[in-house]
Amino acid sequence: MRRLLKNTTQRRLAIIGVLRDLIGWQNPEMIADLLECSVKTILSDVDAINNLWGEHVGIEYSRTNGLRLNDALHNKTRQLARNLMDESEAFIFLERLFFQPNEDMDYWINALYISEATFYRMIKQLDRVLNERGLVLERRPFRITAKNERWVRVFYVQLFLEKYGVNEWPFELERSKMIHFIKTANQSFDIAYNDREILESSYLLAIIVVRTSQGFQLTRGEKYDLKPALIHQILTLRPEADRIVQNTNYTVTDHWYYDVANSLFCPCFITRFDPNCQITLNYLENFLGELEQVYDLPLSDKGRKNLLQKLLQIQTTYQVWPYPKSILFDSAAYFSRNAKVQYPHFTKYVHQLLLRIERKTGEPWFSQFYFSVVQVLFKEWEGLAHSLDEHAAKVKIFVVSDSGVSHAKMIAELIQSRFYYRVVIETHEGSALDFEHDESFMEYDLVIANYPIKNYSYSNLKIVDDFLTESDLTSIGSYVKEIR
C-alpha cells in the first residue's frame, strides 16, 4: 500500500524498513544500492526523516559507522501512519469510499478537489495495489468489492485500525456497544481475546454492520455449514446485536448470525471445526513442547491452551485472507525486530522450528507467520522474557575504582539495578594503588573502571564516570547486547 504515497515518501519509509530489518549500523552505500539511488539522496532523506518525522522515528548518522535507527524513537510509528494517510489523496478516497459506495467520478473529483487527470492516475495506481490484495475497484458507481466479501472487510479493518488505533473511532456506531458485544460473545464461545484483539473485532463488527446495510453480503462459498447447536448459541446474542444498531440508520439483517459465524469469529470457528486444524495443532503442541524443554519454561495448562489458540488463529486468519495484513507499517515486524535484538538465541530457535513445520506441512509458518508467532509468544507466554533473562548466559563484569572498594560496589549496584539477571558482577576488593592485572582478566566480558588502568592492553575495558551517567549505562547496555 505504500505505493499510494509519493515516491519520496516511499523511499524514506524503505530506508526505515532496511534499518529495522538489518540491526545495527549500516553502510549508506549499501542502502543506496538496495534502493537504486545515490548516497547523497539517502543522506538527504535521512535529514528529512529526522526533521519531518522526528517526533515518531529517528535515524542516527555517523561518518565512521553509517546509519542506524534511534532505538528510543523507531517504534513510535502509529501516529506517523495516521499523518501519512491524512496527506494522501488515495487513502482519503479509500476511507470515504467505504462510507459512500454509490458515487460517480464527477462526485469524487469535486469532493477530493483534484483534477480529472490526477483522479485517473490515482485510480490506475489503486487498481494495481488493490489487485495485489484480491480486491477490485468498481466504477459506476465507485466501490470496493472482491471475490470474497470477507476480504473487503478484513482489508478495511487493517486500514482503519492502523490509522485510528485505540484512541479514535471512525464510525457512527457506538464503540462501547461494539466492545460489549465482543466481550459477551467471547464468554459465550469461550474465546480468550486480549484488548488488541477485542478492538480489532470491534472494528470488524462495525464494518460488517455498515457493509451489510449497504447491501454487501457474504457469497455462498464463504458460508460454512453451521451446526444447529452453534446457530442456537449465536441467536442468544440477538438482543446484544439489536442494541448495537439502536438509534442509528443501520439494521441487523435476517441472517446476521451467518456474519457472526462466517466473518466476525470465522478464524476461531475454523480452528474448532476444520479437521485439518487438528493436524496443525499437533505440530504446534510439539513446537511449544520443544521450547519448554530447551529453555526450561514450563507452561500451565491454561497458558498452553491460550497459546495454541492464538497460534492456530494465525494460520486460520491467513486462510480467511491470504494477503499482507499491514497497510503502511507492520507492527509485528517492529515487535520482532526488538525481540531479536534482546533475545537472539530464542528467536533464532523459533525461526528454525517454524522452518521445520513449514517444510513438513507446506504452510508458510516461517515465510509468512514468523513475525506474528514471535509477537504472540512474547505477549501471551506469561513470564517468558523474565525467564529467558534469568536462564540466559550472564555477562561477566569486573569493577575496579580508584576511590576504593565502597565506590566500586556502588558502581556495581548501579549496573546490577539496570541489567539485573543479564550480568554477574565482581568488584576489586583491594586498593587500586596496588592493583595489577594479568591474562585472567581476559575471562571477563567487560572490565569497568573510573580511571585509565596503566598498561591495560585488552579490549574489554570500559572507563566510566564516578557516578554512572545515562551515557555510561547506554554504552554498557550496548556491550551487554553485543556479548549476549
**Could you report the per-residue pLDDT of 100-121, keeping only the tens digit for each?**
999 999 999 999 999 999 999 9
* Arithmetic mean of pLDDT, 251-267: 83
In whole angstroms, give the CA distance from residue 458 to residue 456.
6
pLDDT of residue 72: 60
| Contact partners, residue 1, CB within 8 Å, separation at least 6 | 129, 327, 328
- Centre a 10 Å sphere on the Cβ of residue 422 and count the other Cβ atoms it contains: 20
Q: What angle do CA 446, 448, 451 make, to 5 degrees?
A: 145
Is the bond into 141 cis (omega within 30 degrees of 0)? yes
pLDDT band per the 50, 70, 90 thresholds, residue 98? very high
Q: Specify whether the CB–CB gap between 96 and 102 falls below 8 A.
A: no
Query: Of the ranges 154-158, 169-173, 221-225, which one carries the lowest mean pLDDT score?
Result: 221-225
With cell 509468512, the residue in question is 368
Does residue 44 have a pLDDT over 90? yes
Q: What percent of the chain has pLDDT over 90?
A: 63
Q: What angle do CA 9, 11, 16 make, to 5 degrees?
A: 95
The partner residues of 20 in beta bridges, in order of sequence, read none
Does residue 186 have a pLDDT over 70? yes
* Arithmetic mean of pLDDT, 315-319: 89
What pLDDT, in 10s, does the model give residues 389-434? 887 778 999 999 999 999 999 999 999 999 888 899 999 998 888 8
Continuous segment of H or E residues that includes residue 61: strand 59-62
Q: Specify whether the CB–CB gap between 15 and 30 falls below 8 A.
A: no
Query: Of the ranges 77-91, 130-144, 263-277, 442-456, which one carries the lowest mean pLDDT score?
Result: 263-277
In whole angstroms, give the CA distance from residue 206 to residue 100.
15
pLDDT of residue 484: 67
Does residue 74 have a pLDDT over 70? no
Does residue 75 have a pLDDT over 60? no
Identify which has the larger pLDDT, 415 or 235.
415
pLDDT of residue 374: 97
pLDDT of residue 76: 67
What secondary structure, in 3-state letters, does 246-258 show? CCCCCCCCCCHHH
pLDDT of residue 8: 94
Does residue 147 have a pLDDT over 70? yes
Q: Crossing angle, helix 344-361 and helix 276-295, to 10 degrees?
A: 150
Does residue 73 have a pLDDT over 60? no
Identify which has the larger pLDDT, 161 or 276.
161
Using alpha carbons, select from 293, 281, 469 the residue that is nearest to residue 363.
281
In whole angstroms, give the CA distance from residue 250 to residue 235.
19
| Contact partners, residue 208, CB within 8 Å, separation at least 6 | 153, 259, 263, 264
* Arithmetic mean of pLDDT, 461-468: 94
**Mean pLDDT of all residues belonging to the chain:** 90
pTM passes above 0.85: no
- Centre a 10 Å sphere on the Cβ of residue 416 and count the other Cβ atoms it contains: 16
b/e per residue, 89-100, with b = 16+ CB within 10 A?
bbbebbbebbee
Q: Specify whether the CB–CB gap between 291 and 353 falls below 8 A.
A: yes
What pLDDT, in 10s, does the model give residues 332-380? 988 898 898 888 889 999 999 999 999 999 999 999 999 999 999 999 9
